[in-house]
Structure 1
């Protein structure tokens, strides 16, 4: 994580992401700009974040360590969205790890100073309610898709969501758990994708060879193209 002191870029990202529209008052003076490289942690698990982040460019993944010590992949985030909003509302909530999938740019407000102000900002709270309801709806849709569509469709979408520069390298155990399938079933479909020319096996993971065909499989679950922004 690196703070970037570039006011022109900060103003540009504020404008692109409609950041100012989330608040009743002008928070520009206290807003910072941070840059994260791929695999940098935006939020560390178990550590209360010092900032309320607003992801303006890039994608991130949410992890949690379970009671048995296993690390579980929970969700994906795409810009624009808040990161750390749950910790803002509930100081006792144990933070989960948020890791950048690719290069991320975040606007940020100091959590401690802005908590009392934002919790009394009706416009911000309304925006937050809409955001959380959309996340909840997306999770419901994901659960329904896991029950209704074959793994070829779900894995295609998962690969596009989690890839880094055309490279897919998620751990098989975490991917299988996220998709609700067995380890063996996951490997079988990955082998099928290689055979069909969608992927190429490499030392670092799997290279995407046919993005168009992968996107076609993924969009069979969402023909209205709601999630295409996370598949670019």
Structure 2
């Protein structure tokens, strides 16, 4: 992660993301701009974030290392959204890892300096409550889909959400756990996708060869989702 000292670009991203409208307090003077490459960490696991991030471009994933050493994929973030808001509200909360799926751009405020201000900012708290309720609703919908749709549809959506540069390369063990299926079942469906020409296996992962087929399967489960917007 690196800080980008470009006031013109920062102001452009502030305007495009409605960042200023998320606060009633004056925050622009201390707002910084950071860029995180694909695979880089916005938040390191177990390290309390120094910044309250507002993701304005890009996608990221949230995961945790369990006591038995297994890595569990938990959720996905898409711009625009706050990252680090739980640690802002509860400074004793142990941070989970947030890793960029693609290049991410974040506006940021120093948490220590702004904690008291933001926790008394009605506008910020209203937006935060709305964001948390939407996240909770999304998790409920995801659980319902896992119980109601076959793996083909769910895996198609998962591949679209996690691909970067038309390449899917998530670890099979983490994917199987996140999808709630056996490792063997996951490999069977991926092999079927490969056989049908949707994916092409390479050393770097699986190249997406038929985006429209994956989008069609994913939309059977989530018709209102614009999966095509995930591709650059």
Q: TM-score of the superposition, structure 2-length normalised?
A: 0.98
Residue 125 in structure 1 maps to residue 125 in structure 2: yes
Deviating 4+ runs (over 4 angstroms): none
Q: CA deviation at 1:158?
A: 0.3
Distance between the aligned counterparts of 2:88 and 2:38, measured in 1?
25
Residue of structure 2 in register with 1:180 after alignment: 180
Query: Which residues of 2 match residues 138-217 of structure 1 at below 5 A?
Result: 138-217=138-217
Shift of residue 229 of structure 1? 7.0
Contact kept in structure 1, 2:25 and 2:117, CA below 8 Å = no
Give the Å deviation of 1:223: 1.3
Q: Is the 8 Å Cα contact of residues 57 and 105 (structure 1) preserved in structure 2? A: yes
In structure 2, distance between residues paired with 1:229 and 1:14:
25
Corresponding residue SS for 1:220: helix
Match of 2:230 in 1: 231
- Superposed CA deviations along residues 180-227 of structure 1, whole A, max 9, x for unmatched, are 0000000000000011110000011100001111011011111123x5
Structure 2 portions without partners, runs of 5+: none
Question: 5 Å matches for 1:1-232?
Answer: 1-225=1-225, 228=227, 231-232=230-231
Q: Flag the 1:174–1:98 CA change in 2: closer, same or farther, 3 A.
A: same
Q: Aligned-pair distance for 1:67?
A: 1.6
Query: How far, CA to CA, are the matches of 1:230 and 1:91 in structure 2?
Result: 35
In the TM superposition, what is the alpha-carbon distance from 1:230 to its structure 2 partner?
A: 6.5
Task: Check the 8 A contact 1:66/1:72 in 2, yes or no.
Answer: yes
Deviation at 1:231, TM superposition (A): 3.5
Q: Output one character per residue of 1:10-29: Cα deviation in whole Å (capped at 9) or x when no partner.
A: 00000111000000022111
1:157 and 1:231 in contact (8 A); partners too = no
Which ranges of structure 1 fall in alignment gaps of 5 or more residues?
A: none
With normalisation by structure 1, the TM-score equals: 0.98
Task: Output the CA distance in 1 between the equivalents of 2:180 and 2:18.
Answer: 36
Q: Distance in 1 between matches of 2:48 and 2:62?
A: 15
Alpha carbons of structure 1 residues 132 and 120: separation in structure 2 relative to 1, 3 Å? same
The C-alpha deviation readout for 1:111-156, integer Å capped at 9, x for no partner, is: 0000000000011000000000000000000000000000000000
CA-CA distance at 1:103 after TM superposition: 0.4
State the distance in 1 between where 2:227 and 2:16 align.
19
- Whether the 8 Å contact between 1:56 and 1:80 is mirrored in structure 2 is yes
CA distance in 2, matches of 1:116, 1:180: 40
